[in-house]
Structures are given as structure tokens and as C-alpha cells.
Structure 1
């Protein structure tokens, strides 16, 4: 007799696992929230959540930490999706913290490391006890250490020694008052899995993920977008190149890749041939130090 898993394809198994995680969290926690930036992983995560609870409405709100340096087309997509599904979106603004003098601009102009405090205060202020994130283990070595249910203490910090075993997909969400749990439904997905699911489900994405002509400049081997954040500097000429983005974050640290992939199928072919992860290829904030991501995770970042 064949098992159900044996009859399902790889993508079906990943989808079923994610749906199970969403339902477990909805049943176990008082007030979950889903991080939604308009980036492809958060888009897939929202699509999975909507399917998991259909035809009922989504039983939790969305949260975005806006650095003020996000790509305009991604923000427009975010707002369009929220309106289309009648969802509630909470926005924590890094710019607000800078204006109040709580945070200070970095010399390099990047605001990604400044997201931690607005995120933690949005979680505590909103009373959220579970926070869905789109992190995947294939992205970066610090994220490879994560559990699906990642316990954070009352300061939002991550201690790998406090993480719990998850044998047989048994998830322990118990936490003390003031603590919360980060939830990663896409933990076992790869970048290729995400794109194959996008293709199968016909999910719309921001146009930035597909090849288009754009003004960029080269810095430390990465094609960055010019903007108010401080780029380019002298000796960094702006060029028009045909590019696309593999991952989307702050404009100051998210690099584009030269590409002719204008559709989902072409992107899948391109990813299949790539030998670099999307963060390794296009995220300057991960190059700040050997343990940049792990350091940020310990402080409360995703």
C-alpha cells in the first residue's frame, strides 16, 4: 500500500507541510502576524496561508518593516495585494525612528540593520506572540540553523541553545509572557522550489523580479540602484543595464543580476544553472562580516 506522501509530488509535499504549519500556529497561538514585504518569499507565504484557510478569511494580519529605501514597484505591489484580499497591514517605519532620533543613519547608507528595533517594537506593541517569516534554510548558513518554530526571548533575541527538537514535525510553541516565536513555513524550500511553485500556481510577482532595463551602478561587484540613500559615489558611473532581482530588500544593499529572463520559466532555467544562493549573490548586508546574519539574528532580526 502506497502512502499519501508517495503519491504526492515534491511541490505538493512542501505545500502540505506549509499548510500544516499555518494551521498549527493558528490553533496554538493567540495573535500571530505574517511578515509581508511584497518580496517573492512573503508573496508565496501569503498565497499558502490563504489556501490553508480557504474559504475562511485569513485569521491574522500582515506586518511590514519599511526601511524608507524600498523599491517603489514592490511597495505598490504590496498595497495592491493587501487591498485585493481585504487584509490588515501594519507598517513599522524606520524613517519614523530616524526622525525621532531613536536611530541614526549608517555611513554606508544601508538601513537593513536598522530594521531590528522597529520590528521588535511592532511585535511587542501589537501583542503578537507568533510571527511568520519567509526565511529558508538554503539561503544562508545562519538560517540553516533555524528551527521551524524559533523561540525568541523577551528582548526578541535568538539563542540557538534554547531551540527545541522538531522530530516527526511536532512543534512546541510554548513560551513565557513577553516571549514570542518566529515561524518559518518555507524552511525546507529552496529558491528553485519557490519559483516552481510560483509557476504552478500562476502567482503574480512584482515586475522587478523579471529582466528589465534599469539604471544601476557597480560597487564591490554588485549592481545597485541609485537613490537618496547615498549611491552612487564619485567614480561609480550610472549605466543602463538589463537586470532583474533575485531577492528584494533595501535598495542600498540589494544587488541586481544581469539577466534576459523575462518570464517565470526563463527564471527557473537561470536559477537551475546558478551556483550562488540569492543572498550570496545579491545582498551586500550579508557581506559586512563572516557572521553578519547570525549577529543580526541574535539581536532580533529574522
Structure 2
């Protein structure tokens, strides 16, 4: 009599494994379907997660496309240092579009309020055109903001880089439609279905390094429009605003003129995760002044070609 081995059910993926698998699948699909993809990289946690997933998707081969950073010139030094170290460590190719160059040659005009975040759109679109990128990976997530919740995984942009929510294509199961006409391109959001908490739990599980400003530290900040902003080349404090030394950290990073810190004592990943779990505001809702300009601020910028 022949002995039979007991049948065992395959182990189910946990939530993070499932999200990772979906994201890696998206990277591989796009690499196979498009000619010149690029990853938008700011040095923030979401774009750092994208790079980590891309490395996993193609290992042991190198990541087959470059990174693109639209540098406002108003970034935190800790983030730029981290960006350069990560690129050097992984041997990646980095393209940088410096907003200052567009201001210097007259293609852009400095805003009266000093913020350069809205000025990123033109350098981004010009860089996409110049390098002929046809698929642009971004770290947008649906839980961040209502306009981003409307995005598909693959989001078509017209020949002028504009987004039209009415042109969004259905995405059934894991089938993605990358068809586009000459001059058009596709924005790709591999972590669209992740939440901020998912991101932090995955960072903890994978041991992913981040810029130090994501953890609590002492910094001189001033209060403006309900947010703690840091002193920098973007201006401030002004008028009655006064610098105060506070224990803060950043939930998102970007142009220093519109990216606020939150008061925090969270110096470890466990403490950050506990803080995010208890928060009732997304990181953009809590710390990004550019999203408070109007109810449709993000959607207006996306229609113009923003991330």
C-alpha cells in the first residue's frame, strides 16, 4: 500500500505581502509594455518605497529605468543628502530638473508668496518631453487626497501632460491598459492601494532607511496657518511670527514653504506607527499648505500636469 502525503493548503498572503505582490506586478508589467519608464523620486517615504519595490521587482538585475527629481531648491538638506546617498548606494541613474534653472532663463516666474511647489509642473512636463518618458511612476496613494482617490493605477495624460478624470479607463482585476498616442504618456501609481499605515508597517518590516526628519527631533519652527513651518530660503518668519524650538517630525516632505511639521516625540518606527494609527488626518491634510488653497486645489494642479 502506497503512503500518501497529506494535502496542505497554500499559505495565504498577509496584507503587506499582497500589496507588495501587486506593486511588483505593476512594475514588471510597465517595464514590459513601455519603452522609457522613469520613477519620480523626491527622497520622501513613498518614493523611497517605490525604489525599494523596483529593486525587488527586477533583482538580481539592476532597476532598468532612471529616477527623476523635480528639485524646487527649497528642499530640506537632510532629504537631498539622503537622496544622493541612496542613488549612490544602489547605483541608480538620477535626472534632476532644477526649478531654479527655469526661473533663471525666464520660463518660470517666482511667486510672490515664495512657494515653489506649484512651479514644479513645467519642469516636470519639459523633462518628460525632453527624455521622451512614456511611463512615469509616482508615489501617489488613494488615501492621501480626494483627487488622488480618483486615479487609476495607470492614468493617461494627454500630449500637454493634462489629466482628465473622464478619460480614466476601467481596470478589471489586474489588467492595465497602457495604450497611448504619440506625445501622450501614462502616470503609474504602484502603491495606489496602500495606506499611510501600510507604508510605515512595510518600512518597518523591510528595514527601509528614511531621511531623519521623519522622526522626532528638535527644530526651530514658527506657526503659520495652523502649521509649524521651518525657517529657510522660502521666507519666514514674518510679522508677529516667532521661532520656537519644538520637538517635531515630518509626515511628508516637499517644498519647505508649504510642508509643515507636526509636534511629536516619536523617535522610533514603533512610535511613529502608533502615532499614525491614532491620527484622524492624512499626512497631506495635516501638513501641506498647498492642498488648502481651495477644495479642488490638487485636482486643479493635476489637470495642469502635476504629479
| TM-score above 0.5 | yes
Once residues 239 and 106 of structure 2 are traced to their aligned partners in structure 1, the CA distance between those partners, rounded to angstroms, is 29
Counterpart of 2:110 in structure 1 is: 105
SS for the counterpart of 1:248 is coil
Name which of structure 1's ranges 100-109 and 185-194 shifts more when overlaid on structure 2.
100-109
Counterpart of 1:145 in structure 2 is: 150
Q: 1:165 to 1:215 in 2, by over 3 A?
A: same
SS for the counterpart of 2:139 is coil
Instruction: Specify which of 235, 238, 252 is matched with residue 240 of structure 2.
Output: 235
Aligned counterparts, 1:1-302, within 5 A: 7-302=12-307
Once residues 234 and 281 of structure 2 are traced to their aligned partners in structure 1, the CA distance between those partners, rounded to angstroms, is 27
The CA deviation at 1:234 is 1.4
Gaps of 5+ in 2: 1-6
Once residues 8 and 216 of structure 2 are traced to their aligned partners in structure 1, the CA distance between those partners, rounded to angstroms, is 43
TM-score, structure 1 as length reference: 0.98
1:190-239 deviation per Cα after TM superposition (whole angstroms, max 9, x unaligned): 00000000000000100000000001000011000111111111110011
SS for the counterpart of 2:147 is helix
SS for the counterpart of 1:168 is coil
In the TM superposition, structure 1's runs of 4+ consecutive aligned residues that sit over 3 Å from their partners are: 1-4
SS for the counterpart of 1:228 is coil
Once residues 133 and 87 of structure 2 are traced to their aligned partners in structure 1, the CA distance between those partners, rounded to angstroms, is 19
Say which one has the larger Rg. Answer: 2
The CA deviation at 1:169 is 1.3
1:112-156 deviation per Cα after TM superposition (whole angstroms, max 9, x unaligned): 000000000000100100000000000000000000000000000
The CA deviation at 1:167 is 0.6
Once residues 8 and 194 of structure 2 are traced to their aligned partners in structure 1, the CA distance between those partners, rounded to angstroms, is 24
- Give the number of equivalent residue pairs: 301
RMSD (Å) for aligned C-alpha atoms: 1.1
TM-score, structure 2 as length reference: 0.97
The CA deviation at 1:35 is 0.6
Once residues 185 and 3 of structure 1 are traced to their aligned partners in structure 2, the CA distance between those partners, rounded to angstroms, is 29
